[in-house]
Structure 1
Amino acid sequence: MVDKKELQRKYLQLQILRQQMTAMLEEKAVVEERINELSSTIDSLKKLHSIKTSEEMWSSLGSGSFVRAEIKDTEKVVIGIGAGIFAKKSAGDAAETLEGRLKELNTVNDEIMAELNKINIQLLALEPEVEKLAGQQSA
């Protein structure tokens, strides 16, 4: 006869693992979104030198809204350096700073992937156990 408490314990463990996986997948999506945003910004910074001053372009206001703007300076940009503080840097220095952040985020993304793989292995091992115990319980 199957121990009902053992089945409940394993089922609870299974549910916790599933919740952890869901939370980590959400975190991974946020990190990947930030990676894409940084990659796009770095690409734009690297192309900035090819834009002539006094050229017009569409400038993002956020939330999918844009305004026509005239380029006054392609040498310097303002970037956030953390804690609501901004600094004026050359486009090249700004790209380097953002590439450092991108490298850190890629490391975080790799760590999340490794943890997701561990959780998945645990789930794949635990699910058949729970099904077997549940089948024995109903028999």
Structure 2
Amino acid sequence: MSSEKEVQEKIATLQILQEEAEALQRRLMELEILENEYRKTLETLEFFESIDTSVEALMNLGGGVFAYVDVKNSKKMLVDIGSGVVVEREVGEAIEFVKNRIKKIEENQEKMTSMLQQVLSQAQRIQQELAARQQKE
């Protein structure tokens, strides 16, 4: 294989690795946003678990419009368990469900971080090879 062709292949591989790294970084940011959302939900559920009376709350209607509502039964929650299926759960069960979701997100973040480190390591190795080759010339 010619030296020029090797260099072109390494540059192409490097570009692919950089795109892959950017995609992984975007996905990690999305997971962080999702984790923060679940943590806020968990905090709210724990509040509902701690009260025994009805409570006044604000309900987001969308478009920056909110309504005051009275939450009369704060011990039962509707939980989306996936595929558009919503089931009624006790607040404690809803808390466990959300905690499990957070745990899965954290596991995915760890896997993606590891993948990102591998991709960046490969990219760095190729960059070093290209730099060494350029210095020889």
Larger RCO, structures 1/2 (Cα 8 Å, 6+ apart): 1
Question: C-alpha displacement at 1:119, in angstroms?
Answer: 1.0
Distance 1:116-1:63 versus aligned 2 partners, 3 A rule: farther
Question: C-alpha displacement at 1:40, in angstroms?
Answer: 1.0
Distance 1:119-1:132 versus aligned 2 partners, 3 A rule: same
Aligned residues: 136
Equivalent-residue separation in structure 1 for 2:14 and 2:64 (angstroms) = 41
SS at match of 1:77: strand
Equivalent-residue separation in structure 2 for 1:114 and 1:104 (angstroms) = 15
Report the equivalent of 1:70: 70
SS at match of 2:99: helix
Equivalent-residue separation in structure 2 for 1:39 and 1:20 (angstroms) = 28
Distance 1:24-1:95 versus aligned 2 partners, 3 A rule: same
Report the equivalent of 2:101: 101
Report the equivalent of 2:27: 27
| Seq. identity, % | 26
- Any gaps of 5 or more consecutive residues in structure 1? none
- Computed over aligned residues only, the root mean square deviation of the Cα atoms, in angstroms, reads 1.9
Distance 1:18-1:65 versus aligned 2 partners, 3 A rule: farther
Contact 1:52/1:71 (8 A) holds in 2: no
Report the equivalent of 2:118: 118
After superposition, the C-alpha distances for 1:16-73 in whole angstroms (9 at most, x for unaligned) are 1000000111111111111111111111101113445443211233565432111111
Contact 1:7/1:134 (8 A) holds in 2: no
- Any gaps of 5 or more consecutive residues in structure 2? none
Report the TM-score, using the length of structure 2 for normalisation.
Answer: 0.89
Equivalent-residue separation in structure 1 for 2:63 and 2:116 (angstroms) = 31
Q: Which amino acid aligns with 1:11?
A: I
